[in-house]
Copies of this chain bind each other. A is one copy, B any other.
């Protein structure tokens, strides 16, 4: 079975690599700024649309994994920042408070001409310490938050002000790896394999 990761995120690529599986990367071109009736529906639909686009380009047996992550404060979605000034504004809003990170993962798979879809959506709470002006300057200068929802990355220098989290850490990095492993095992078992390692080797 071919496995395709429908995301250009180096963090998702690294996380999926931990499974030991070989996979290709084919990013979708789907526009990330579309919105649905609420944030949960939005993140699910964005992940769905990205995966669907890549899945429809494939023929034969294949599994496509796609994902979208949003950062939410007071019900408002924080995207990737437009520029450093915008990043600074976002980070000051998140400073000293708890926000939500929601990631949805879509699994599109076709095996013997039968196409199926599964999805999981996981929410993690993240609390920032108060971001002092010197830490803000230090952080913005690294550029680490430039391409990230909420203007921060949790896997490196963002840890300078991340006080605590409640829930899946991997979910904040890119996607909820341990939950994805459970779904991979479920898919494997639908086809009579014991687990995903056995299934993908076959």
Contacts and interface: CB of A to CB of B under 8 A. Distances in A.
A185 interface: yes
Given A18-B160, A159-B178, 20 more contacts: A18-B156, A18-B157, A19-B138, A20-B138, A129-B178, A134-B196, A134-B197, A134-B198, A138-B197, A159-B170, A159-B177, A161-B178, A162-B168, A162-B169, A162-B170, A163-B179, A164-B168, A165-B167, A165-B168, A166-B166
A135 interface: yes
A178 B154 CA distance: 12
The 7 closest A-B pairs by CB, nearest first: A134-B195, A18-B157, A159-B170, A159-B177, A134-B197, A164-B167, A129-B178
A181 B179 CA distance: 32
B169 A169 contact: yes
B169 A154 contact: yes
A1 interface: no
Number of copies: 2
A40 to B, nearest CB: 18
A195 B132 contact: yes
B160 A165 contact: no
A15 interface: yes
Contact of A134 (B18, B154, B194): B194
User: Could you tell me the dominant secondary structure of chain A's interface residues?
Assistant: mixed
B185 A132 contact: yes
Interface string A125-168: 00001001011001000000000000000111101111111111
Interface in A37-96: none
A165 B163 contact: no
Contacts of A168: 162-165
Nearest to A172: B169
Given A132-B185, A138-B20, A178 B162 contact: yes
A47 to B, nearest CB: 19
Given A157-B18, A177-B159, A129 B169 contact: no
Contact of A160 (B19, B124, B164, B195): B19
